Amino acid sequence: MNIFFEATNIKEGGALSHLINLVEAADPKKNNFKKIIILSSKKTLSLIPKNKHILKIENKVANKHYFIRFLWQIFFLKKILKKHNVNLIFCLSGAFFIKGYKYVLLNQNFLPFDYQNLRKYFFSPSIIRLLLLRFAFFYSIRNASGVFFLTNYVKKIIIKQLPKKYQIKKNFFFIIPHGIKKNNFIAKKSNKKIKIIYLSNLDYYKNQIELLNIFKKFYSEKIKLKLDFYGSYDFDYYKKFIKIKRKLCLPNSYVEYKGLKDRHLIIKKIKEYDIFLFASSCESFAVSILDALAAKLPIIINDIPVVREILGKSAYYFNIKDSHKAYLKILKFVSNSKLRNKYSKLSYQKYPQYSVKKNVYKTFKCLNIIFKKK
C-alpha cells in the first residue's frame, strides 16, 4: 500500500522527532507498505533522509494561517492523493477534511481538550487557534477509520468529550507511545554547580514563570545552581517571562533561556546536565522526557496523570500549583546526591520501554489492520 503522511503542522519538538524517527526506521518489507508520501513544510522535509521508498512533497502554505491551510487541503490535496494512488492517509496533524479516503488520525496535542489549562488562553490570541484545533479534530473523527493516542489518559479524557451522536466502532482507538533512538547520551559530568535543563517550549501551561519565582529563592539563598530553558515560545508568554525575570533580577548565569536548538545539538548538550526538570501541567506525551531517560538524568517533574502513566516510579514528583512545597521538593532533590543517583538509575531502567523499534512496529501493524478493514 501507499501511505500518505499528512504532516503539514509538524515543525518542531516531540512531533517532529517522532516523524523523523518513524520514517527513518520504516521498512517496506517488514512493515508491509510500498511507499510513504510525506506532505510537510520545506524545513521539515529537509530533516528527513532520502530513500527510495520515501517521496517528499512540499506544502507551500505550511507556514500560512490555519484557515489558509484548511482551504488548501480541501481544494488542492485531493489532486495529490489521486496522482500518487494513495491507499491510506496517516494524519499526524490531527485533522483531515476530505471525504472518500480511508484515514487515521494521530492526536499529539492535548491542550485544546484540557479545560483547566485552556482557560489560561482566554485573553491570548492563541485561544482562536486552540478552539479551531479542537473543532477540527472532532469534525475529522466522524469519518476517520481509526485514531491513535499516545497515552490511555488522553484517550479517556477526549473520548468523554466526544458528542453522543458519534457512533464509534470497535477497535477504533489505539494506544501507541512515542519512542526514542538509542543515542550515545551518557557521559560523565563534573560540574562545579548543579546544572538543570528544562527542555520544552515557553508557554502558559509549561509554567516557566512559576519556576522563576522558585529559583529566585534559591538565588537569594546563594545555592549553586544553573537552570537552562530550551525550546520555542509563545510570544505573549515570552514577553511576560522576560519581564518577570528582569524584575526578579535573575542573571543569565543562574537562569537562562537558550532558545530553540537543533535536535542534534540538544543530544550533545543534554550530557552536560545533572538534572532534568519538567513543570508542564498539560501533555499528550512529552518526548523530551524520553531524552532524559536515555541520558540517565534524574527526573524531577510536575505530577500530572500523563507523566505518571509514562514514568511511574522512575521520577521524583512535585506540585507546581503549590509554590512553597515545590520549592522544598526541588531543594531536597538538588541537595541530596543519593536521591539523584537513585532516580538516575530508575530513569535509565525505564528507557528500554520506549524504543523507536516498538513505536514503528506498533504504528505500521495498526495501519495495516485499518487498511485491511472493510
Q: How far is CA 232 from CA 43, 237, 328, in A?
A: 15, 11, 29
Spatial CA neighbour of 92 closest among 15, 190, 164: 15
Express each pLDDT in 201-213 by its tens digit: 999 999 999 999 9
The highest-level CATH class for domain 194-353 is: alpha beta
The confidence score (pLDDT) of residue 184 equals 56
CATH topology of domain 2-179+355-372: Rossmann fold (3.40.50)
Residues in contact with 29: Cβ distance below 8 Å, sequence separation at least 6, in sequence order: none
Q: Supply the DSSP symbol for 284.
A: S
The confidence score (pLDDT) of residue 170 equals 62
Express each pLDDT in 89-129 by its tens digit: 999 988 899 888 999 999 999 999 999 999 988 888 889 88
The confidence score (pLDDT) of residue 367 equals 95
The confidence score (pLDDT) of residue 191 equals 67
Judge if 2-179+355-372 and 194-353 fold alike in CATH terms.
yes
The confidence score (pLDDT) of residue 66 equals 76
Residues in contact with 49: Cβ distance below 8 Å, sequence separation at least 6, in sequence order: 23, 24
Helices (H), 96-151: 115-118, 126-141
Q: Supply the DSSP symbol for 91.
A: E
What are the residues facing 225 on neighbouring strands? 194
For residues 113 and 174, what is the distance between their CA atoms, to the nearest angstrom?
18
Per domain, the residue ranges of the chain are 2-179+355-372, 194-353
Q: How far is CA 143 from CA 8, 95, 149, 169, 318, in A?
A: 20, 11, 17, 11, 41
Q: How far is CA 55 from CA 3, 4, 11, 15, 37, in A?
A: 10, 9, 18, 19, 5
The confidence score (pLDDT) of residue 69 equals 85
Is the entire prediction scored with pTM above 0.85?
yes
Residues of the chain below pLDDT 70: 167-170, 183-191, 374
The confidence score (pLDDT) of residue 110 equals 95
